[in-house]
């Protein structure tokens, strides 16, 4: 079962998203209203530890489990796509109270109406593909 | 042990476990980015025949779809075996603000008004979820990533584009929270 490790990592992700309450509309509201430290603590801790991990991987040229070098692809330089795309996503994030990962974790909790948002997210991705050549990037 | 795990997790523990997920995927030779799955789902449904953006070897991304399946299972495990049934504890100021929008004080992890069983029979709620989903799907692909791909993976690699994207997430989130939500609800 080559794929089992991805399922298990996904389970760990689903559990931490649930138990951190990052999948909750309430927590996202609290975050965007700057009325609680919780979400900032979660993201801040993940980023500080992530920066440290990536730095160590680069410094010691660590390899993945198959012995291949771990490479980091730099993101393309641009402003409009990140800023405009980011704003559009932010509008949806604050409305539904879930970013893409939590959209799916919520299914596991049986919050079935989230399926409508997932249909919307797939449709939105498709729509982007249709109009992307006409958008500033 | 199970009792400790069943309560809400401290933000530090939560952040550390998310960083662990990032590191595990890196050591599997992959990168942490959830919204890519939305493009993969489009491609798997045959969108590549209509549009070249979806004409790529999506099967190479099967690992990410398995991660997605795991995320759903993780949600199920949490609510079935790792739940103490207590309502979520958020700031009292937030409770007051959302009550002004017409939301009751939290009884569960999610508001009944949006995610309860009756939500599906209310046209406005269906539209809110659908439009919100459209914005999430369109925006993440336009920006080339979501919270995992930009805020976690990108910032961990000190990528300026990811910082710009995260600033965008917040501009959008603040506009929705303070300007649009009072008009919608």
A75 φ, ψ to 5°? -75, 145
Q: Report whether pLDDT(B58) > 90.
A: yes
Residues of chain A above pLDDT 90, percent: 98
Q: Which residue from A104, A115, A42 is spatially nearest to B74, judged by alpha carbons?
A: A104
Over range B95-124, report the average pLDDT: 95
Residue pair B165/B148 in contact by the 8 Å Cβ criterion: no
B-chain residues near A36 (CB < 8 A): 90-91, 94
Domain ranges, ordered by start, for chain B: 1-86
CA–CA separation, B25 and B27 (whole Å): 5
Distance between A134 CA and the closest CA of chain B, angstroms? 12
- Say whether residue A41 is in contact with chain B using an 8 A CB cutoff: yes
Q: Which residues lie below 8 Å from residue A88, measured CB to CB, with a gap of 6+?
A: B135, B138, B139, B142, B143, B172
Complex-level ipTM beyond the 0.85 threshold: yes
Contact B136 A96 (CB under 8 A): yes
B128-158 confidence digits (pLDDT tens) = 999 999 999 999 999 999 999 999 999 999 9
pLDDT band at residue B4 under the 50/70/90 scheme: confident
CA–CA separation, B149 and B25 (whole Å): 12
Over range A31-49, report the average pLDDT: 98
Helix, strand or coil, per DSSP, at residue A69 = strand
B23-32 confidence digits (pLDDT tens) = 999 999 999 9
Which pLDDT value is given to residue B118?
A: 87
Which pLDDT value is given to residue B2?
A: 80
A116 φ, ψ to 5°? -65, -40
Contact A7 B111 (CB under 8 A): no
Residue pair A105/B71 in contact by the 8 Å Cβ criterion: yes
CA–CA separation, A129 and B141 (whole Å): 8
Instruction: Give the ranges where B101-151 is alpha helix by DSSP (H).
Output: 112-115, 123-143
């Amino acid at each position: 079962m080559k794929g089992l490790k991805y399922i298990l990592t996904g389970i760990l992700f689903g559990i931490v998203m649930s138990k951190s309450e990052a999948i909750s509309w309430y927590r996202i509201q609290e975050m965007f209203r700057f009325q609680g430290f919780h979400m900032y603590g979660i993201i801040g801790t993940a980023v500080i530890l992530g920066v440290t991990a990536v730095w160590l991987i680069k410094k010691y040229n660590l390899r993945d489990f198959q012995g291949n070098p771990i490479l980091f692809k730099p993101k393309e330089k641009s402003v409009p796509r990140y800023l405009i795309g980011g704003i559009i996503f932010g509008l949806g994030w604050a409305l539904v109270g879930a970013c893409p990962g939590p959209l799916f974790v919520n299914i596991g909790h049986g919050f079935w109406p989230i399926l409508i948002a997932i249909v919307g997210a797939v449709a939105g991705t498709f729509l982007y593909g249709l109009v992307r050549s006409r958008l500033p990037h | 042990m199970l009792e400790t795990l069943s309560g809400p997790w401290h933000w530090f523990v939560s952040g550390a476990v998310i960083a662990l997920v990032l590191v595990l995927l890196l050591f599997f030779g992959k990168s942490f980015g959830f919204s890519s799955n939305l493009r993969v789902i489009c491609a798997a449904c045959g969108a590549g025949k209509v549009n070249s953006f979806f004409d790529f070897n999506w099967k190479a991304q099967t690992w990410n779809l398995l991660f997605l399946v795991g995320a759903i299972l993780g949600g199920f495990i949490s609510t079935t075996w790792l739940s103490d049934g207590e309502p979520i504890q958020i700031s009292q100021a937030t409770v007051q603000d959302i009550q002004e929008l017409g939301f009751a004080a939290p009884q569960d992890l999610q508001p009944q008004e949006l995610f309860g069983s009756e939500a599906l029979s209310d046209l406005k709620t269906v539209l809110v979820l659908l439009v919100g989903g459209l914005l999430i799907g369109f925006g993440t692909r336009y920006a080339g990533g979501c919270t995992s791909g930009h805020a976690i993976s990108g910032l961990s690699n000190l990528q300026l584009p990811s910082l710009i994207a995260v600033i965008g997430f917040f501009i959008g989130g603040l506009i929705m929270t303070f300007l649009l939500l009072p008009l919608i609800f």
